[in-house]
Structure 1
Amino acid sequence: MTAAASVTWADPGDLAAVAARIAAEVARPGKKRIAIAGGSTPGKVLQLLAAQNLDWSGVRIVPTDDRQVPPDHPASNLGALRRAFAGTAAEILPLADGDRPARFDLVWLGMGEDGHIASLFPRMCAEPCKRRRVIAVTPIPLPLEAPFARLTLNRKALTAAEAVILVVTGRAKRTVIEHALGGADSYPVSDILRGPGPPVTIYWSE
Protein backbone atom coordinates (compact mmCIF):
# COMPACT_ATOMS: atom_id res chain seq x y z
CA MET A 1 0.00 0.00 0.00
CA THR A 2 1.34 3.43 -0.96
CA ALA A 3 2.01 5.71 2.00
CA ALA A 4 0.26 9.04 2.38
CA ALA A 5 2.18 12.12 1.40
CA SER A 6 4.48 13.64 4.03
CA VAL A 7 3.54 17.24 4.78
CA THR A 8 5.74 19.97 6.23
CA TRP A 9 5.21 23.68 6.83
CA ALA A 10 7.97 25.88 5.45
CA ASP A 11 9.50 28.36 7.88
CA PRO A 12 9.57 31.05 6.66
CA GLY A 13 6.66 30.53 4.32
CA ASP A 14 6.62 33.91 2.60
CA LEU A 15 6.91 34.58 -1.12
CA ALA A 16 10.65 35.17 -0.89
CA ALA A 17 10.97 31.62 0.46
CA VAL A 18 8.90 30.32 -2.44
CA ALA A 19 11.16 32.14 -4.88
CA ALA A 20 14.20 30.58 -3.20
CA ARG A 21 12.64 27.12 -3.54
CA ILE A 22 11.98 27.62 -7.25
CA ALA A 23 15.46 29.05 -7.81
CA ALA A 24 17.01 26.00 -6.12
CA GLU A 25 15.00 23.72 -8.40
CA VAL A 26 16.07 25.60 -11.53
CA ALA A 27 19.72 25.55 -10.42
CA ARG A 28 19.82 21.76 -10.17
CA PRO A 29 21.77 20.07 -12.98
CA GLY A 30 19.84 18.60 -15.88
CA LYS A 31 16.49 19.20 -17.46
CA LYS A 32 13.48 20.02 -15.30
CA ARG A 33 9.70 19.88 -15.68
CA ILE A 34 7.70 22.26 -13.49
CA ALA A 35 3.93 22.81 -13.25
CA ILE A 36 2.94 26.28 -12.03
CA ALA A 37 -0.39 27.48 -10.65
CA GLY A 38 -2.35 30.38 -12.03
CA GLY A 39 -3.57 33.39 -10.09
CA SER A 40 -1.85 36.52 -8.79
CA THR A 41 0.60 34.91 -6.33
CA PRO A 42 2.82 33.18 -8.94
CA GLY A 43 3.22 36.49 -10.75
CA LYS A 44 4.61 38.11 -7.60
CA VAL A 45 7.05 35.23 -7.08
CA LEU A 46 8.13 35.30 -10.70
CA GLN A 47 8.92 39.01 -10.34
CA LEU A 48 11.29 38.09 -7.50
CA LEU A 49 12.87 35.42 -9.68
CA ALA A 50 13.32 37.85 -12.57
CA ALA A 51 15.82 39.77 -10.45
CA GLN A 52 18.05 36.69 -10.21
CA ASN A 53 20.47 35.54 -12.87
CA LEU A 54 18.94 32.09 -13.37
CA ASP A 55 19.62 29.82 -16.31
CA TRP A 56 16.20 28.61 -17.44
CA SER A 57 17.51 26.54 -20.33
CA GLY A 58 16.28 22.98 -20.13
CA VAL A 59 13.29 23.99 -17.99
CA ARG A 60 9.86 23.05 -19.30
CA ILE A 61 6.90 24.75 -17.65
CA VAL A 62 3.19 24.01 -17.94
CA PRO A 63 0.25 25.61 -16.13
CA THR A 64 -1.47 23.32 -13.62
CA ASP A 65 -4.72 24.46 -15.21
CA ASP A 66 -6.00 26.99 -17.70
CA ARG A 67 -9.18 28.67 -18.82
CA GLN A 68 -10.33 27.67 -22.28
CA VAL A 69 -9.58 31.05 -23.82
CA PRO A 70 -6.96 32.18 -26.39
CA PRO A 71 -3.43 32.69 -25.01
CA ASP A 72 -3.69 36.45 -25.52
CA HIS A 73 -6.86 36.62 -23.37
CA PRO A 74 -6.34 38.32 -19.97
CA ALA A 75 -7.69 35.18 -18.22
CA SER A 76 -5.19 32.81 -19.85
CA ASN A 77 -2.70 31.22 -17.44
CA LEU A 78 -0.59 30.15 -20.42
CA GLY A 79 -0.42 33.73 -21.63
CA ALA A 80 0.55 34.95 -18.16
CA LEU A 81 3.37 32.41 -17.97
CA ARG A 82 4.63 33.34 -21.43
CA ARG A 83 4.73 37.00 -20.48
CA ALA A 84 6.43 36.26 -17.15
CA PHE A 85 9.16 34.17 -18.79
CA ALA A 86 9.63 36.32 -21.90
CA GLY A 87 13.31 36.78 -22.55
CA THR A 88 14.30 33.59 -20.72
CA ALA A 89 15.15 30.20 -22.18
CA ALA A 90 12.28 28.47 -20.36
CA GLU A 91 9.92 26.48 -22.61
CA ILE A 92 6.27 27.22 -21.82
CA LEU A 93 3.93 24.44 -22.92
CA PRO A 94 0.12 24.54 -23.16
CA LEU A 95 -2.25 21.98 -21.73
CA ALA A 96 -4.14 19.85 -24.25
CA ASP A 97 -7.25 17.83 -23.48
CA GLY A 98 -6.35 14.16 -23.21
CA ASP A 99 -2.62 14.66 -22.71
CA ARG A 100 -0.60 12.37 -20.44
CA PRO A 101 2.27 14.63 -19.33
CA ALA A 102 5.49 13.09 -18.10
CA ARG A 103 6.39 13.11 -14.43
CA PHE A 104 7.16 16.54 -12.97
CA ASP A 105 10.17 17.50 -10.91
CA LEU A 106 8.05 20.05 -9.05
CA VAL A 107 4.36 20.92 -8.93
CA TRP A 108 3.48 24.35 -7.57
CA LEU A 109 -0.13 24.57 -6.39
CA GLY A 110 -2.27 27.38 -5.13
CA MET A 111 -5.61 26.89 -3.38
CA GLY A 112 -8.94 28.68 -3.23
CA GLU A 113 -10.93 29.30 -0.05
CA ASP A 114 -13.19 26.42 -1.08
CA GLY A 115 -10.18 24.10 -1.04
CA HIS A 116 -9.90 23.79 -4.82
CA ILE A 117 -6.50 23.16 -6.40
CA ALA A 118 -5.67 23.71 -10.07
CA SER A 119 -9.22 23.52 -11.53
CA LEU A 120 -10.33 20.62 -9.37
CA PHE A 121 -13.32 22.10 -7.55
CA PRO A 122 -15.57 20.66 -4.82
CA ARG A 123 -18.40 20.73 -7.36
CA MET A 124 -17.75 20.54 -11.08
CA CYS A 125 -18.76 18.88 -14.30
CA ALA A 126 -15.90 16.76 -15.66
CA GLU A 127 -15.61 14.54 -18.68
CA PRO A 128 -14.70 10.88 -17.98
CA CYS A 129 -10.95 10.67 -17.34
CA LYS A 130 -10.17 7.14 -18.57
CA ARG A 131 -6.38 7.19 -18.95
CA ARG A 132 -6.08 10.92 -19.55
CA ARG A 133 -4.33 13.22 -17.11
CA VAL A 134 -5.37 16.55 -18.63
CA ILE A 135 -9.15 16.82 -18.39
CA ALA A 136 -11.86 19.31 -19.34
CA VAL A 137 -13.92 20.59 -16.39
CA THR A 138 -16.52 23.24 -15.64
CA PRO A 139 -16.76 24.61 -12.07
CA ILE A 140 -20.22 24.64 -10.47
CA PRO A 141 -21.06 27.45 -10.08
CA LEU A 142 -18.83 29.27 -12.53
CA PRO A 143 -16.72 31.87 -10.67
CA LEU A 144 -17.93 35.36 -11.52
CA GLU A 145 -14.36 36.63 -11.91
CA ALA A 146 -13.47 33.88 -14.40
CA PRO A 147 -16.61 32.32 -15.94
CA PHE A 148 -14.84 29.90 -18.25
CA ALA A 149 -14.61 26.17 -18.77
CA ARG A 150 -11.15 24.85 -17.89
CA LEU A 151 -8.46 22.35 -18.70
CA THR A 152 -6.67 20.96 -15.68
CA LEU A 153 -4.13 18.40 -14.60
CA ASN A 154 -6.01 15.75 -12.65
CA ARG A 155 -4.96 14.36 -9.28
CA LYS A 156 -2.82 11.62 -10.80
CA ALA A 157 -0.92 14.15 -12.88
CA LEU A 158 -0.47 16.56 -9.97
CA THR A 159 0.93 13.81 -7.75
CA ALA A 160 3.18 12.37 -10.47
CA ALA A 161 5.99 14.54 -9.20
CA GLU A 162 9.11 14.46 -7.12
CA ALA A 163 7.72 17.18 -4.86
CA VAL A 164 4.70 19.47 -4.44
CA ILE A 165 4.64 22.94 -2.94
CA LEU A 166 1.33 24.46 -1.82
CA VAL A 167 1.49 28.25 -1.68
CA VAL A 168 -1.32 30.03 0.18
CA THR A 169 -1.93 33.33 1.91
CA GLY A 170 -4.46 34.44 4.50
CA ARG A 171 -6.02 33.00 7.64
CA ALA A 172 -9.08 31.60 5.87
CA LYS A 173 -6.97 29.36 3.64
CA ARG A 174 -4.83 28.20 6.55
CA THR A 175 -8.04 27.11 8.30
CA VAL A 176 -9.06 25.09 5.23
CA ILE A 177 -5.67 23.36 5.19
CA GLU A 178 -5.89 22.57 8.90
CA HIS A 179 -9.36 21.08 8.40
CA ALA A 180 -8.10 19.00 5.47
CA LEU A 181 -5.13 17.74 7.47
CA GLY A 182 -7.50 16.97 10.34
CA GLY A 183 -9.56 14.59 8.22
CA ALA A 184 -12.06 16.69 6.25
CA ASP A 185 -12.63 15.06 2.87
CA SER A 186 -14.84 17.68 1.21
CA TYR A 187 -11.87 19.68 -0.09
CA PRO A 188 -9.98 18.70 -3.25
CA VAL A 189 -6.76 19.71 -1.49
CA SER A 190 -7.32 16.81 0.93
CA ASP A 191 -6.32 14.38 -1.83
CA ILE A 192 -2.93 16.09 -2.06
CA LEU A 193 -2.34 16.49 1.66
CA ARG A 194 -3.53 13.09 2.85
CA GLY A 195 -3.59 10.84 -0.20
CA PRO A 196 -0.67 8.84 -1.57
CA GLY A 197 1.85 10.98 -3.34
CA PRO A 198 5.08 12.95 -3.15
CA PRO A 199 6.14 15.10 -0.19
CA VAL A 200 4.22 18.35 0.16
CA THR A 201 5.67 21.57 1.56
CA ILE A 202 3.16 24.25 2.55
CA TYR A 203 4.26 27.86 2.15
CA TRP A 204 1.80 29.98 4.12
CA SER A 205 1.92 33.68 4.89
CA GLU A 206 -0.51 36.29 6.12
Structure 2
Amino acid sequence: MSDAAISANITWADHADAVAVAAHLAAAIERQGARLLAVPGGSTPVAIFDKLSTMDLPWSELSLILTDDRIVAKDHEASNFGKLTKAFADSDAKLIDLTEGMTPPRADLVWVGMGADGHIASLFPTMKAPVQGDEASPLVVRTVPDPLPPEAPFERLSLNMAALIDTNAIIIVVRGADKKTILEQAIKEEHDLPIAKLIKAASCPITIFWSES
Protein backbone atom coordinates (compact mmCIF):
# COMPACT_ATOMS: atom_id res chain seq x y z
CA MET A 1 0.00 0.00 0.00
CA SER A 2 1.41 3.42 -0.93
CA ASP A 3 1.90 6.27 1.57
CA ALA A 4 -0.98 8.13 -0.09
CA ALA A 5 -3.28 5.13 0.21
CA ILE A 6 -2.33 4.62 3.85
CA SER A 7 -2.97 8.29 4.67
CA ALA A 8 -6.34 8.23 2.92
CA ASN A 9 -7.34 5.33 5.13
CA ILE A 10 -6.66 7.25 8.36
CA THR A 11 -8.65 9.87 10.27
CA TRP A 12 -7.31 11.77 13.26
CA ALA A 13 -10.20 12.41 15.67
CA ASP A 14 -10.81 16.01 16.76
CA HIS A 15 -11.27 14.96 20.38
CA ALA A 16 -9.63 12.05 22.16
CA ASP A 17 -10.85 12.02 25.75
CA ALA A 18 -12.76 9.09 27.23
CA VAL A 19 -16.13 10.63 26.34
CA ALA A 20 -15.15 11.06 22.68
CA VAL A 21 -13.85 7.51 22.31
CA ALA A 22 -16.90 6.03 24.04
CA ALA A 23 -19.18 8.10 21.80
CA HIS A 24 -17.36 6.84 18.71
CA LEU A 25 -17.77 3.25 19.83
CA ALA A 26 -21.46 3.77 20.60
CA ALA A 27 -22.02 5.38 17.19
CA ALA A 28 -20.34 2.42 15.48
CA ILE A 29 -22.62 0.05 17.35
CA GLU A 30 -25.75 2.02 16.47
CA ARG A 31 -24.82 3.01 12.91
CA GLN A 32 -22.98 -0.05 11.68
CA GLY A 33 -24.61 -2.69 13.80
CA ALA A 34 -21.26 -3.62 15.32
CA ARG A 35 -21.97 -6.52 17.62
CA LEU A 36 -18.48 -7.75 18.50
CA LEU A 37 -15.85 -5.33 19.72
CA ALA A 38 -12.23 -6.31 20.32
CA VAL A 39 -10.87 -4.10 23.08
CA PRO A 40 -7.46 -3.61 24.69
CA GLY A 41 -6.31 -4.25 28.22
CA GLY A 42 -4.19 -2.14 30.53
CA SER A 43 -5.14 0.99 32.43
CA THR A 44 -5.95 3.47 29.61
CA PRO A 45 -9.21 1.77 28.49
CA VAL A 46 -10.75 1.69 31.98
CA ALA A 47 -12.06 5.29 31.88
CA ILE A 48 -13.49 4.63 28.41
CA PHE A 49 -15.11 1.40 29.60
CA ASP A 50 -16.70 3.35 32.45
CA LYS A 51 -18.27 5.85 30.02
CA LEU A 52 -19.36 3.22 27.50
CA SER A 53 -20.96 0.98 30.12
CA THR A 54 -23.40 3.72 31.14
CA MET A 55 -24.74 4.24 27.60
CA ASP A 56 -28.10 2.98 26.38
CA LEU A 57 -26.97 0.30 23.93
CA PRO A 58 -28.32 -3.13 22.91
CA TRP A 59 -26.10 -4.83 25.47
CA SER A 60 -27.75 -8.22 25.20
CA GLU A 61 -26.70 -8.30 21.52
CA LEU A 62 -23.12 -7.17 22.18
CA SER A 63 -20.00 -9.24 22.73
CA LEU A 64 -16.60 -8.02 23.85
CA ILE A 65 -13.30 -9.81 23.38
CA LEU A 66 -9.87 -8.66 24.49
CA THR A 67 -7.12 -8.09 21.96
CA ASP A 68 -4.73 -9.54 24.54
CA ASP A 69 -4.36 -10.60 28.14
CA ARG A 70 -1.75 -11.57 30.68
CA ILE A 71 -1.66 -15.25 31.58
CA VAL A 72 -2.70 -14.86 35.21
CA ALA A 73 -5.70 -15.83 37.31
CA LYS A 74 -8.88 -13.89 36.49
CA ASP A 75 -8.88 -12.33 39.97
CA HIS A 76 -5.24 -11.20 39.65
CA GLU A 77 -4.79 -7.42 39.54
CA ALA A 78 -2.94 -7.78 36.21
CA SER A 79 -5.79 -9.65 34.52
CA ASN A 80 -7.31 -7.69 31.67
CA PHE A 81 -10.31 -10.01 31.67
CA GLY A 82 -10.83 -9.18 35.32
CA LYS A 83 -10.90 -5.45 34.50
CA LEU A 84 -13.31 -6.08 31.64
CA THR A 85 -15.62 -8.15 33.84
CA LYS A 86 -15.66 -5.46 36.50
CA ALA A 87 -16.32 -2.65 34.02
CA PHE A 88 -19.30 -4.36 32.36
CA ALA A 89 -20.66 -6.25 35.36
CA ASP A 90 -23.98 -4.41 35.24
CA SER A 91 -24.53 -4.93 31.51
CA ASP A 92 -25.82 -7.92 29.57
CA ALA A 93 -22.82 -7.95 27.23
CA LYS A 94 -21.18 -11.30 26.53
CA LEU A 95 -17.49 -11.35 27.43
CA ILE A 96 -15.32 -13.75 25.44
CA ASP A 97 -12.20 -15.03 27.18
CA LEU A 98 -9.03 -15.65 25.17
CA THR A 99 -7.58 -19.14 25.07
CA GLU A 100 -4.43 -20.20 23.28
CA GLY A 101 -5.05 -21.52 19.78
CA MET A 102 -8.73 -20.58 19.71
CA THR A 103 -10.43 -19.29 16.56
CA PRO A 104 -12.27 -16.20 17.79
CA PRO A 105 -15.23 -14.76 15.91
CA ARG A 106 -14.45 -11.89 13.55
CA ALA A 107 -14.67 -8.55 15.33
CA ASP A 108 -16.76 -5.78 13.78
CA LEU A 109 -14.43 -3.18 15.30
CA VAL A 110 -10.92 -3.57 16.70
CA TRP A 111 -9.60 -1.08 19.24
CA VAL A 112 -5.89 -1.11 20.05
CA GLY A 113 -3.57 0.96 22.15
CA MET A 114 0.15 1.25 21.55
CA GLY A 115 3.18 1.00 23.78
CA ALA A 116 6.16 3.34 23.70
CA ASP A 117 8.03 0.60 21.83
CA GLY A 118 5.38 0.48 19.10
CA HIS A 119 3.76 -2.74 20.28
CA ILE A 120 0.04 -3.40 19.81
CA ALA A 121 -2.05 -5.92 21.71
CA SER A 122 0.71 -8.27 22.92
CA LEU A 123 2.62 -8.27 19.64
CA PHE A 124 5.99 -6.81 20.61
CA PRO A 125 8.95 -5.72 18.46
CA THR A 126 10.99 -8.43 20.15
CA MET A 127 9.18 -11.44 21.53
CA LYS A 128 9.06 -15.19 21.66
CA ALA A 129 6.03 -16.43 19.76
CA PRO A 130 4.99 -19.04 17.20
CA VAL A 131 5.69 -18.32 13.56
CA GLN A 132 2.71 -16.37 12.21
CA GLY A 133 1.43 -15.58 8.75
CA ASP A 134 0.56 -18.91 7.17
CA GLU A 135 -2.92 -20.37 7.02
CA ALA A 136 -2.20 -22.81 9.83
CA SER A 137 -1.20 -20.09 12.29
CA PRO A 138 -3.58 -19.74 15.24
CA LEU A 139 -5.41 -16.43 15.55
CA VAL A 140 -4.76 -16.37 19.31
CA VAL A 141 -1.12 -16.92 20.19
CA ARG A 142 0.99 -17.10 23.33
CA THR A 143 3.67 -14.42 23.37
CA VAL A 144 6.52 -13.59 25.72
CA PRO A 145 7.89 -10.02 25.55
CA ASP A 146 11.68 -9.99 25.38
CA PRO A 147 12.71 -8.56 27.74
CA LEU A 148 9.75 -9.00 30.09
CA PRO A 149 8.58 -5.59 31.35
CA PRO A 150 9.21 -5.40 35.10
CA GLU A 151 5.80 -3.81 35.73
CA ALA A 152 4.02 -6.75 34.08
CA PRO A 153 6.36 -9.76 33.93
CA PHE A 154 3.85 -12.21 32.50
CA GLU A 155 3.43 -14.31 29.41
CA ARG A 156 0.55 -13.15 27.24
CA LEU A 157 -2.22 -14.28 24.94
CA SER A 158 -2.83 -12.08 21.93
CA LEU A 159 -4.84 -11.86 18.76
CA ASN A 160 -2.33 -12.17 15.95
CA MET A 161 -1.97 -9.59 13.18
CA ALA A 162 -4.34 -11.43 10.85
CA ALA A 163 -7.10 -11.33 13.47
CA LEU A 164 -6.47 -7.66 14.30
CA ILE A 165 -6.86 -6.47 10.71
CA ASP A 166 -9.80 -8.72 9.78
CA THR A 167 -12.46 -6.19 10.78
CA ASN A 168 -14.66 -3.38 9.49
CA ALA A 169 -12.91 -0.61 11.42
CA ILE A 170 -9.90 -0.03 13.65
CA ILE A 171 -9.41 2.66 16.28
CA ILE A 172 -6.05 3.47 17.86
CA VAL A 173 -6.07 5.28 21.22
CA VAL A 174 -2.74 6.71 22.37
CA ARG A 175 -1.44 9.36 24.73
CA GLY A 176 1.78 11.38 24.67
CA ALA A 177 3.98 13.27 22.19
CA ASP A 178 6.50 10.43 21.84
CA LYS A 179 3.77 8.01 20.78
CA LYS A 180 2.44 10.51 18.25
CA THR A 181 5.88 10.58 16.65
CA ILE A 182 5.94 6.78 16.45
CA LEU A 183 2.48 6.82 14.85
CA GLU A 184 3.44 9.45 12.29
CA GLN A 185 6.56 7.48 11.40
CA ALA A 186 4.47 4.32 11.08
CA ILE A 187 2.12 6.01 8.63
CA LYS A 188 5.12 7.11 6.55
CA GLU A 189 6.56 3.56 6.75
CA GLU A 190 9.73 4.85 8.41
CA HIS A 191 9.96 1.78 10.67
CA ASP A 192 8.52 -1.72 10.83
CA LEU A 193 7.32 -1.82 14.43
CA PRO A 194 4.07 -3.73 15.05
CA ILE A 195 1.99 -0.54 14.82
CA ALA A 196 3.44 0.13 11.37
CA LYS A 197 2.70 -3.42 10.24
CA LEU A 198 -0.91 -3.04 11.41
CA ILE A 199 -1.41 0.27 9.59
CA LYS A 200 0.19 -1.03 6.40
CA ALA A 201 -1.78 -4.29 6.37
CA ALA A 202 -5.20 -2.91 7.30
CA SER A 203 -7.67 -2.32 4.48
CA CYS A 204 -10.43 -0.89 6.67
CA PRO A 205 -10.79 2.71 7.93
CA ILE A 206 -8.54 3.61 10.88
CA THR A 207 -9.43 6.36 13.36
CA ILE A 208 -6.67 7.65 15.64
CA PHE A 209 -7.55 9.16 19.02
CA TRP A 210 -4.40 10.93 20.19
CA SER A 211 -4.01 13.35 23.07
CA GLU A 212 -1.07 14.91 24.85
CA SER A 213 -1.87 13.21 28.14
Q: Provide TM-score, normalisation by structure 2.
A: 0.90
* 1:100 correspondence with 2:103: yes
The 3-state SS of whatever aligns with 2:49 is helix
1:128 counterpart (103, 128, 131)? 131
Aligned to 1:149: 155
* 1:166 correspondence with 2:169: no
The 3-state SS of whatever aligns with 1:107 is strand
Q: Residue 80 of structure 2 aligns to which amino acid in structure 1?
A: N
| Distance across 2 between alignment mates of 1:26 and 1:195 | 24
Aligned to 1:186: 192
Give % identity: 46
How much has 1:28 moved relative to structure 2? Answer: 4.3
How much has 1:166 moved relative to structure 2? Answer: 0.1
Say if 1:100 and 1:132, in contact at 8 Å, map to a contact too.
Answer: yes
Say if 2:165 and 2:201, in contact at 8 Å, map to a contact too.
Answer: no
Say if 1:96 and 1:134, in contact at 8 Å, map to a contact too.
Answer: yes
The 3-state SS of whatever aligns with 2:110 is strand
2:37 counterpart (25, 34, 39)? 34
Aligned to 1:198: 204
* 1:6 correspondence with 2:9: yes
| Distance across 1 between alignment mates of 2:176 and 2:18 | 13
How much has 1:103 moved relative to structure 2? Answer: 1.6
| Distance across 1 between alignment mates of 2:172 and 2:105 | 20
Say if 2:70 and 2:156, in contact at 8 Å, map to a contact too.
Answer: yes
How large is the RMSD of aligned CA atoms in angstroms?
1.9
Answer with 21-30 or 150-159: which moved more. Answer: 21-30
1:115 counterpart (118, 124, 129)? 118
| Distance across 1 between alignment mates of 2:95 and 2:56 | 19
* 1:49 correspondence with 2:69: no
Q: Residue 140 of structure 2 aligns to which amino acid in structure 1?
A: V
Aligned to 1:139: 145
Say if 1:26 and 1:56, in contact at 8 Å, map to a contact too.
Answer: no
Identify if the C-alpha distance between structure 1 residues 13 and 92 changes in structure 2 by more than 3 Å, giving closer, same or farther: same
Aligned to 1:85: 88
| Distance across 2 between alignment mates of 1:34 and 1:49 | 12
* Ranges in structure 2 where 5+ consecutive residues have no aligned partner: none
The 3-state SS of whatever aligns with 2:143 is strand
Say if 1:30 and 1:58, in contact at 8 Å, map to a contact too.
Answer: no
The 3-state SS of whatever aligns with 1:147 is coil
> Deviation per CA, 1:125-168, whole angstroms, max 9, x where unpaired?
00234331000110000011100000000000000100000000
Identify if the C-alpha distance between structure 1 residues 74 and 198 changes in structure 2 by more than 3 Å, giving closer, same or farther: same
The 3-state SS of whatever aligns with 1:57 is helix
Where in structure 1 do 4 or more consecutive aligned residues deviate above 6 Å? none
2:182 counterpart (176, 185, 190)? 176
Answer with 46-55 or 183-192: which moved more. Answer: 46-55
Task: Tell me the matched-pair count.
Answer: 206
Say if 2:131 and 2:137, in contact at 8 Å, map to a contact too.
Answer: no
| Distance across 2 between alignment mates of 1:188 and 1:163 | 18
Q: Higher helix share goes to which structure?
A: 2
> Deviation per CA, 1:146-196, whole angstroms, max 9, x where unpaired?
000000000000001000000001111101101111222331000121224
